[in-house]
């Protein structure tokens, strides 16, 4: 309520009182009252809003508390499981590869030996006894390579199945991402309510940056994206 | 030729070991960080060191510095195979005296190329 308005009302009231204008006095007093009430309502409105915000901040608080208490430890366990699963898959795959590598090398070796003998036979450079031996070796080769290729097939199947972790770990990681997003929202809200400003200051790096994630770590242009870039940098240093 | 492979992840050690075997280097030993690698190196007869950077206990860069500071090991060729790709880190490794720097994920061909280059330079 402006000063001019109050002063005008007061003058009108004095005027009405001096002229014994009872109706006028009543009306003016009501008007003044209404103005005061209006202010009171505004004040109540303000307090209500404040109360609402405070209550909201309490719910944010309790949300963060429950996240800290349940969701974050839960996420840690889930991520540990992801580590275990990926490690198991890598181990399983490596086991099969290490098992099959000699099998494949052996097959290769056998095939090469027989190929050499076979071309000598085709060139008619092979005595009969040697031919007989070769025939025997050939049938042995067919037998053993059948068994070896069955092993290779089985191994490839095992490698195939070992990749099934991707589906499960993907789902778990997606869940953890949702949790991190929720946590972020709650914390931003809490900072907003506390009145502190969100300044986007980067924290000092204390630990090793670790694997550079495309689109995250390479914004400042200080990360090598490929081996070629590493090589270029090193050769520019005289390597 | 005896090679020491240092990485905190056993799967990565196995991958490097298999790749090295493919390249004809069958004599390898493993360690899971700088701390366990140093005694193996000090015992002698390691001809080549392949190390990760980010490891608990003792990092690869500290291992590299320790190697260069030890008169018995100072000339040991060191190849760093790491996910650390920041320019300042690559420069830091170069200044510490690394002989080659491979960033993860890497290919068998890259590893071979860097190893060949290192030995070319040593033999040359």
Chain B residues within 8 A of A101 when measuring between CB atoms: 18
Query: Which of A220-229, B17-26, B38-47, B94-103 has the lowest average pLDDT?
Result: A220-229
Nearest by Cα to A225 from A216, A235, A212, A236: A212
B106 and A CB contact within 8 Å = yes
Determine the distance in angstroms separating the CA of B65 from the nearest CA of chain A, rounded to an integer: 17
Determine the distance in angstroms separating the CA of B83 from the nearest CA of chain A, rounded to an integer: 5
Residue A56: per-residue pLDDT: 75
pLDDT of residue A194 exceeding 60, the answer is yes
Determine the distance in angstroms separating the CA of A70 from the nearest CA of chain B, rounded to an integer: 28
Residue A200: per-residue pLDDT: 65
Interface test mutation site (partner A, options B59, B60, B85, max chain A beta carbons within 10 A): B85
Determine the distance in angstroms separating the CA of A111 from the nearest CA of chain B, rounded to an integer: 20
**Higher pLDDT pick, B7 / A200:** B7
Nearest by Cα to B52 from B65, B35, B33: B33
pLDDT of residue A135 exceeding 90, the answer is yes
Residue A153: per-residue pLDDT: 94
**Higher pLDDT pick, A148 / A225:** A148
Distance CA B63, CA B27 (A): 21
pTM of the model: 0.71
Distance CA A230, CA B85 (A): 8
pLDDT of residue A206 exceeding 90, the answer is no
Hey, CA dihedral for A7, A12, A13, A15, is it positive or negative?
positive
Both tokens of A2, joined, read 């402006």
Both tokens of A103, joined, read 């099998």
Both tokens of B93, joined, read 């490794």
Specify the 3-state DSSP secondary structure of B6.
strand
Residue A189: per-residue pLDDT: 80
pLDDT of residue B8 exceeding 90, the answer is yes
Q: Do A233 and B15 touch (CB under 8 A)?
A: no
pLDDT of residue A53 exceeding 90, the answer is no
pLDDT of residue A1 exceeding 60, the answer is no
Residue A37: per-residue pLDDT: 81
Q: In this prediction, does ipTM exceed 0.90?
A: no
Distance CA B42, CA B65 (A): 14
Distance CA A131, CA A27 (A): 131
Average pLDDT for chain A: 87
CB within 8 Å of B16: residues ≥ 6 apart: B5, B7, B50, B81, B111
Q: Average of pLDDT values for A24-30?
A: 88
Q: Average of pLDDT values for A189-208?
A: 70
B25 and A CB contact within 8 Å = no
Instruction: Determine how many CB atoms are found less than 10 A away from the CB of residue A188.
Output: 12
Q: Do B85 and A230 touch (CB under 8 A)?
A: yes
Question: What confidence tier does A204 reach under pLDDT thresholds 50, 70, 90?
Answer: low
Strands of the B28-31 sheet, one edge to the other: B28-31, B3-6, B48-51, B78-82, B100-103
Q: Average of pLDDT values for A123-144?
A: 92
Q: What is the pLDDT of residues A142-165, one digit of tens each?
A: 999 999 999 999 999 999 999 988
Residue A131: per-residue pLDDT: 93
Question: What confidence tier does A99 reach under pLDDT thresholds 50, 70, 90?
Answer: very high
Q: B17, exposed or middle or buried, with CB in 10 Å at 0-12, 13-18, 19+?
A: buried
Q: Scanning every residue of chain B, which has its alpha carbon at the shortest distance from the alpha carbon of A92?
A: B11
């Amino acid at each position: 309520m402006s000063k001019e308005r109050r002063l005008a009302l007061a003058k009108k009231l004095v005027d009405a009182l001096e002229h014994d204008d009872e109706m006028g006095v009543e009306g003016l007093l009501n008007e003044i009252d209404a103005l005061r009430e209006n202010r009171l309502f505004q004040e109540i409105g303000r307090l209500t809003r404040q109360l609402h915000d405070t209550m909201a901040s309490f719910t944010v608080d309790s949300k963060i508390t429950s996240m800290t208490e349940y969701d974050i430890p839960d996420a840690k366990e889930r991520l540990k499981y992801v580590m275990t699963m990926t490690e198991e898959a890598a181990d399983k795959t490596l086991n099969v590869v290490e098992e099959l590598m000699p099998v494949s090398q052996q097959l290769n070796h056998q095939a090469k030996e027989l190929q050499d003998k076979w071309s000598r036979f085709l060139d008619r450079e092979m005595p009969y006894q040697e031919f007989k031996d070769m025939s025997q070796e050939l049938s042995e080769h067919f037998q053993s390579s059948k068994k070896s290729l069955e092993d290779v097939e089985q191994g490839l199947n095992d490698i195939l199945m070992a990749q099934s972790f991707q589906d499960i770990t993907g789902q778990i990681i997606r869940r953890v991402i949702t949790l991190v997003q929720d946590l972020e929202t709650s914390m931003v809200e809490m900072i907003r309510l506390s009145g502190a400003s969100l300044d986007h200051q980067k924290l000092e790096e204390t630990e090793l940056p670790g694997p550079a994630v495309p689109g995250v770590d390479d914004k400042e242009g200080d990360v090598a994206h490929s081996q070629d870039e590493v090589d270029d940098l090193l050769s520019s240093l005289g390597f | 030729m005896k090679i020491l492979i240092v990485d905190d992840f056993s799967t990565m050690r196995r991958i490097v070991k298999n790749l090295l075997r493919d390249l004809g280097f069958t004599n390898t030993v493993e360690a899971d960080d700088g701390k366990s690698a140093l005694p193996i190196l000090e015992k002698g007869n390691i001809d080549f060191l392949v190390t990760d950077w980010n490891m608990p206990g003792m990092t690869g860069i500290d291992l590299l510095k320790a190697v260069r500071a030890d008169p018995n090991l100072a000339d040991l060729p060191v190849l760093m195979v790491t996910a650390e790709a920041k320019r300042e880190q690559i420069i830091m490794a170069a200044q510490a005296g690394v002989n080659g720097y491979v960033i993860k994920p890497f290919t068998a061909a890259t590893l071979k190329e860097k190893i060949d280059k290192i030995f070319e330079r040593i033999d040359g």
